[in-house]
Structure 1
Amino acid sequence: MKTKLLLLVLLLFFGWLVGREWWWRDHGPSVPPVIFVIDDGASVSDIADDLETRDIIGSSFLFKVYVKLTARARKLQAGEFELSEGMNASSVLSVITNAQANEISLTFVEGWTIAQMSAYLAEEGVVSSSDWMTSATHDLEGYLFPDTYRFLKGVTAQEIVSRMREEMEEKINAEMRAEMERQGKSLHDVLTMASIIEREVRHDEDRELVSDVFWKRLAIGMPLQADSTVNYITRKKTPSISFDDREINSPYNTYKYRGLPPGPISAPGLASIQAAIFPRSNPYYFFLTDEEGNAHYARTLDEHNVNKARELK
């Protein structure tokens, strides 16, 4: 009899705890919110312990049981969440399994310069242009991988730069690095070439062909004559450059100076980086891109001039 009574008391007590955690614990809107951060890779146990320590929930054990019973462990999101002390487990779980969380999504377009990224971030109200240009210095042009990223609100310019640099390091895998070493090309040279390819052609099938054209020109001492490098100086967006622009005295002017420019002129995407490392052999030394973005190739200058007369009217 005593055993049954004890079991009944324990069962009632456990039921009270569960009810307290799942339904009755919320203190209502009068309780000020707190910012709760879940790091990438945090386990259910880590999250539950932290919630209990912050007095957001009353029992980490019951929270873990609830997560297990609802099979929502995989839906837990990393991010920054607005919670309140004294919330019940059900309410907390509803918030932290919301993919929107307190985050922002930023998309950096392939071919953008650091200056264009600065304008975008300022327009989005994420960081000021001055803060961005302080962290994203000129020597990082081409080293920030363009992609869509998710950050916590309040992210700093330095945090964005660090994440983009890390992503670039990860994208250039061991096979790519081995091939660069075999060819005797530095990462700087490859990213510089990739950045030019990114701005010169739009379609992936052209990137490898144009890469071969440019590397062959360098091999024979022929100027790259890439309009995109001159536009990097002038900040113009025209598909072709003027005769006056060709005379600009800058090491980025690949009409006036042979070889690669001092560094990248944009943020190259993965397809352009791969093309710079793995060019597709072809017989061409000239090409142009028409208004629709189609590339037209030529073996000789005469053929190239015919293409210009026909395609660039």
Structure 2
Amino acid sequence: MFRKQRRLCIVLLLIVILVPITRLTRFLLFPAGDGKRVEIVELSRGRSLRAFAADLEARRIITSARLFVFYARMKGGDARLKAGPYQLDDGLRPGQILAKMIAGDVYLRLFALPQGYSSYQAAEMLEKRGIFTRESFLAACSDRTLLKEMGIDAPSAEGYLFPGSYNILPGRSEHDVVREMIKRQKEVLSGSIDGRARAKGLSMRELLVLASMVEKEAVLPQEKPLIAAVFRNRLKIGMRLQSDPTALYGVRAFAGKVSRDDILKPTPYNTYLIPGLPPGPIGNPGKDAMEAVLNPAAVPYLYFVARGDGSHHFSNDLASHNDAVNRYLKAPSTAPRGGAR
């Protein structure tokens, strides 16, 4: 009788030991599915491993949150997991999922907006990347409700889109991305820049307009204060700005050259035809362009022309400028950058 009881106890003990091990082994060896279910799962800072695992189980990426937590802690990985968004599918084994999270192999769908690029250029880049359509992104940029929410009293977010990198996760709308771009640009503006602009008699709109023009004209960073000086000097004496990129804004992308037809085309932004500043920014400037407008070089220049190597020749008077145009301008049908015709 005693032997039977002992034998039964051993069998029960083996069951208690082996069944969990078998379940764990099966859990680790076999994924939850065939890889067709793909999810972006966020492990935010401060989120517990248990909550993250429960999310994975709810999305059917793993079959057991409890076993995933047990395995992660057994491997000592729970303290080494990197926060961030992860692209996971149900064809991954739990060990592969854990390895991705320890390595910090986060999901990246990066979009970088270069300094000076307009909302039109941003929209075209996003469409080429297959993220948003051109029309939907531009619609978000001019959504009055969004602009009012973000405190922008303008017909579009042009000038308020921060030039930088963005990780655009699936599920994020055009409005979400525009909102983030505006928020980041406003963080730059809300520092010392806003107060210094007002102290120099510039409204935020005027600052962004001038900075966007400087961004479009300058190739070399060190020339931004010189180009800003030309525009500021012209404004002081009531001289038209005659900036090539303004003639093309909203028409086509500026590629460094304009034709005579371009500068004679009447648009609200064409500073060859309108006095003073255009009605709004022609791109989204970076901080260094804003700094150049706030601290232009102390020079008397009124003209500049591209040399063809990225740099510009600056002149005080029209006669000197015309000489420079004859020296550097090769295409006779092209108007000089920033100079009077």
Q: TM-score, normalised by structure 2?
A: 0.75
Q: Paired residue for 2:194?
A: 177
1:110 alignment partner, SS class: coil
Kept in 2, the 8 Å contact 1:37–1:79? The answer is: yes
1:25 alignment partner, SS class: helix
Q: Paired residue for 1:52?
A: 54
Structure 1: how far apart are the matches of 2:305 and 2:210? 17
Whether 1:38 and 2:42 are equivalent positions in the alignment is yes
Q: What value does the CA root-mean-square deviation take over the aligned residues?
A: 3.3
Deviates more, 1:47-56 or 1:163-172: 47-56
Q: Paired residue for 1:297?
A: 314
Whether 1:112 and 2:117 are equivalent positions in the alignment is yes
Kept in 1, the 8 Å contact 2:160–2:182? The answer is: yes
Structure 1: how far apart are the matches of 2:56 and 2:237? 67
- Compute the displacement of 1:240 (Å): 4.1
Kept in 1, the 8 Å contact 2:120–2:250? The answer is: no
Structure 1: how far apart are the matches of 2:18 and 2:326? 84
2:220 maps to which of 203, 214, 224? 203
Distance 1:220 1:83, change over 3 A: same
Structure 1: how far apart are the matches of 2:92 and 2:133? 37
Structure 2: how far apart are the matches of 1:79 and 1:178? 37
Q: Paired residue for 2:88?
A: 82
- Compute the displacement of 1:85 (Å): 10
Distance 1:174 1:237, change over 3 A: closer
Kept in 1, the 8 Å contact 2:40–2:170? The answer is: no
Structure 1: how far apart are the matches of 2:259 and 2:96? 63
Unpaired segments ≥5 residues, structure 2: 1-15, 143-154, 331-341
2:109 alignment partner, SS class: strand
Provide Cα deviations, 1:210-253, integer angstroms capped at 9, x if missing partner. Answer: 11221121122111111111122542645343344333333311
Deviates more, 1:49-58 or 1:218-227: 49-58
Q: Paired residue for 2:108?
A: 103
2:128 maps to which of 116, 123, 128? 123
Question: Over alpha carbons, which structure has the higher Rg?
Answer: 2
Structure 1: how far apart are the matches of 2:47 and 2:21? 18
Unpaired segments ≥5 residues, structure 1: 1-12
Structure 2: how far apart are the matches of 1:186 and 1:273? 12
Provide Cα deviations, 1:250-279, integer angstroms capped at 9, x if missing partner. Answer: 331112211110001112223212212222
Kept in 2, the 8 Å contact 1:110–1:198? The answer is: yes
Q: Paired residue for 2:141?
A: 136
Q: TM-score, normalised by structure 1?
A: 0.81
- Compute the displacement of 1:129 (Å): 2.1
Structure 2: how far apart are the matches of 1:31 and 1:69? 24
- Compute the displacement of 1:14 (Å): 10
Q: Paired residue for 2:27?
A: 25
Aligned length: 298
Distance 1:181 1:105, change over 3 A: same
